[in-house]
């Protein structure tokens, strides 16, 4: 029997207040409240970290600010996310452990505050989270979680084109005054093949045909047509599911996936919501109609930096011999390999075929756990969410005291750790233009969802390990 567990990255909703958004951390005081509408918001993303002391407990970390959830320090039972480290000692009021308790197979659960044994609930007036010991009903405090790693965020800034499993673009197709969408075009850059995505706060999308300026919708006989203007129609909502790094499938309002439908007559190859699973014919590669993206003006939020997975590291060792009759300070030198890696990530994880370049500092962990933004800089092609590794040969030189007529083993040791830093950035898109426009168009916007991660060795020193 499978053991139930929360996904590793979640956004949490209250079953008591389903229309009030997701749990988030308030910037001014760190209070934990309900009210963030956008499931993709950096404020709503929570990392679930299994406890080291007991596997039934978890620590809940707000991902972007790197703050763990716990009781407030004022002695009340309100929740806050202020601590930068876990506290798994349940005798401490600042304990960060919670026990998720499954309610049903639909993803409903509740949280027990491990240190007190009370249940987390929402205050109806302030929408703040607190621990309650006198539950008014069995369902009070029931929650649901969205698995954020399963969500797909489609591009919304510029138009996109979709490529089917037959290598044809999805185009507007008029047959007997019915507006079909058909995988039959070889041209991505005309209005027939272009579509605009609108992101809904809960993860659904609405799509507009640029050619007809109307919304896609689920129609009769499960065809997907582009003939609707009513944005409140639930049949215009689609749920994206990731197939691979560049391909999605769209689930329609009938619960079926849209696929390239093989039918008799001219409509064959048109889009219809008839697949019970994301089969090959349901896969659509997403092409963002942008020539190049530039990432610049990167601002690291070092106040929310997190250093973790620290471990001792030995770069090398050497025997030093003192043949003289007195204690001597002797020089030690050798070369060692210094390796470090870094990753730029963001909430948008789909590869839409747009080459990108980045101009930014490359922070590393410095002396005594500080964040050093001055040592390295990058101006190079960028691959979001991809690790970049660097190894260089570095000389180590120093001196140690060696007793008379003796030898010592000298090691060069440090600490290897990982830092995690949120960042803001500016992005400039060189957008593909279409007649009658011939000049390049630039789309500039501010991104607030960057997460930078780096692993390196720091705080090196010479240590005399043996005589």
Report residues of the chain scoring pLDDT below 70: 1-3, 435-440, 466-467
The pair of three-digit structure tokens given for residue 262, joined into one six-digit string? 């093989």
Instruction: Enumerate domains of the chain plus CATH numbers.
Output: 9-149 (2.80.10.50), 160-288 (2.80.10.50), 292-466 (2.170.15.10)
Q: pLDDT digit string (tens) for 100-149? A: 999 998 889 999 999 999 999 999 999 999 999 988 888 999 999 999 98
Quote the CA–CA distance of 372 and 374 in Å, as a whole number: 6
Residue 343 three-state SS? strand
Quote the CA–CA distance of 457 and 412 in Å, as a whole number: 12
Quote the CA–CA distance of 31 and 65 in Å, as a whole number: 13
Please give the pLDDT value at position 280. Answer: 95
Residue carrying the six token digits 């009781």: 71
* Kind of pairing between the strands at 58-62 and 97-102: antiparallel
Q: How far apart are the first and last CA of the chain?
A: 56
> For the purposes of burial, counting CB atoms within 10 Å of the CB of 381, is it exposed (0-12), middle (13-18) or buried (19 or more)?
exposed
**Contact call for residues 237 and 218 (beta carbons, < 8 A):** no
With b for 16 or more beta-carbon neighbours within 10 A and e for fewer, the 61-72 pattern comes to: bbbbbbbbbbbb
Residue 112 three-state SS? strand
CA dist 198 to 201, 202, 283, Å? 10, 12, 20
Task: Give the dihedral sign, CA 90/99/15/236.
Answer: positive
Q: Where are the beta strands (DSSP E) in 347-387?
A: 356-361, 364-365, 371-372, 377-382
Please give the pLDDT value at position 312. Answer: 95
Please give the pLDDT value at position 1. Answer: 41
Residue 235 three-state SS? helix
The pair of three-digit structure tokens given for residue 371, joined into one six-digit string? 């964040």
Quote the CA–CA distance of 154 and 159 in Å, as a whole number: 10
255 phi/psi in degrees, rounded to 5: 85, -5
Quote the CA–CA distance of 265 and 274 in Å, as a whole number: 18
Quote the CA–CA distance of 128 and 33 in Å, as a whole number: 4
- C-beta atoms surrounding 208 within 10 Å: 21
Q: Which long-range contacts does 208-214 make (Cβ < 8 Å, 24+ apart)?
A: 209/172, 209/179, 209/181, 210/159, 211/171, 211/172, 212/172, 212/179, 214/179
Please give the pLDDT value at position 135. Answer: 84
């Amino acid at each position: 029997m499978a053991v139930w567990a929360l996904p590793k990255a979640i956004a949490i909703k209250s079953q008591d207040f389903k229309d009030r958004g997701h749990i988030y951390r308030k910037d001014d005081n760190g209070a934990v409240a309900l009210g963030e509408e956008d499931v993709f918001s950096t404020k709503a993303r929570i990392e679930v970290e299994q406890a080291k002391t007991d596997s039934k407990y978890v620590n809940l970390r707000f991902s972007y600010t790197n703050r763990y959830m716990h009781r407030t320090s004022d002695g009340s039972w309100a929740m806050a996310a202020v601590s930068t480290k876990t506290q798994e000692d349940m005798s401490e009021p600042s304990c960060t452990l919670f026990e998720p308790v499954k309610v049903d197979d639909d993803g409903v659960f509740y949280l027990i505050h491990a240190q007190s044994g009370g249940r987390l609930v929402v205050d109806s007036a302030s929408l703040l989270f607190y621990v309650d010991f006198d539950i008014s009903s069995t369902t009070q405090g029931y929650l649901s979680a969205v698995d954020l790693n399963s969500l797909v965020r489609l591009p919304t800034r510029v138009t996109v084109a979709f490529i089917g499993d037959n290598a044809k673009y999805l185009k507007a197709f008029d047959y007997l005054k019915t507006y079909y969408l058909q995988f039959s075009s070889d041209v991505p850059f005309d209005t027939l093949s272009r579509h605009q995505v609108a992101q809904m706060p809960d993860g659904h999308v609405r799509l507009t045909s640029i050619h007809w300026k109307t919304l896609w919708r689920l129609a009769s006989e499960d065809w997907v047509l582009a003939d609707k203007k009513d944005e409140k129609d639930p049949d215009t909502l689609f749920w994206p599911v990731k197939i691979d790094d560049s391909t999605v499938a769209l689930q329609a309002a009938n619960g079926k996936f849209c696929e390239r439908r093989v039918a008799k007559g001219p409509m064959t190859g048109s889009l219809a919501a008839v697949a019970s699973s994301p089969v090959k014919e349901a896969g659509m590669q997403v092409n963002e109609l942008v020539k190049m993206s530039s990432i610049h003006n990167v601002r690291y939020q070092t106040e929310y930096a997190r250093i973790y997975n620290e471990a001792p590291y030995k770069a090398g060792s050497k025997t030093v011999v003192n043949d003289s009759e007195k204690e001597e300070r002797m020089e030690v030198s050798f070369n060692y390999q210094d390796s470090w890696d870094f990753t730029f990530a963001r909430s948008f994880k789909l590869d839409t075929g747009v080459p990108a370049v980045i101009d930014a500092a490359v922070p590393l962990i410095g002396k005594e756990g500080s964040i050093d933004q001055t040592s390295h800089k990058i101006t190079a092609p960028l691959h979001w969410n991809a690790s970049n590794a660097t190894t260089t040969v570095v000389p180590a030189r120093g001196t140690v005291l060696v007793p008379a007529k003796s030898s010592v083993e000298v090691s060069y040791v440090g600490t290897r750790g990982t830092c995690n830093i949120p960042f803001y950035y500016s992005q400039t898109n060189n957008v593909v233009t279409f007649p009658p426009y011939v000049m390049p168009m630039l789309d500039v916007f501010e991104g607030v969802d960057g997460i930078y991660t780096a692993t390196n060795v720091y705080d090196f020193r010479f240590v005399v390990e043996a005589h």
